[in-house]
Amino acid sequence: MTNDFSIRIKFWIEKKGHSILGPGRLAILEAIDETHSLTAATKKCAISFRKGWKLINEINKQLEQPVVLSERGGKGGGGKTVLTEFGKKLVLQYRRIEQKLNDFIKDPSLWDL
């Protein structure tokens, strides 16, 4: 009978009641880290540039130090958007927590019916 059930979780990190990082924000941060471009990251995440910019600004405002830095390009472009070291650590910590939670919910002893 217990093989018919599964547990799914969705979590996010808050600071003083404000969401800092959850699956959507994590996706945009990881896409920025991969592409070094907010434009490319928002395309990859299938969200508007404006929404991506808003999410990044919200994260940066809630924390003591920025997680993302942007440099504007000149006339010919060449700007870039990158995760700071703090941003990379935040993403890594989120993934560690996620792995621990997933390991926990896979424990068959949770289904002690």
Q: pLDDT digit of tens for each residue in the chain (113 aa)?
A: 456 777 888 999 999 998 999 999 999 999 999 999 999 999 999 999 999 999 999 999 999 999 999 877 656 666 789 999 999 999 999 999 999 999 998 887 877 66
11 inside domain: no
2 inside domain: no
30 inside domain: yes
Assess contact for 84 and 70: CB atoms under 8 A: no
Q: Taking the model in full, what pTM does it have? A: 0.85
**Domain CATH code at residue 102:** 1.10.10.10
* Residue-level pLDDT at 1: 44
Q: Count of domains in the chain?
A: 1
**Residue 47 in 3-state DSSP?**
coil
Q: What does DSSP assign to residue 108?
A: G
In one-letter notation, the amino acid at residue 2 is: T
Cα torsion 16, 95, 66, 49 to 10°: value is -100
Domain that includes residue 53, residue range: 18-107
* Residue-level pLDDT at 77: 63
50 inside domain: yes
Cα gap 67→33, rounded to integer Å: 11
76 inside domain: yes
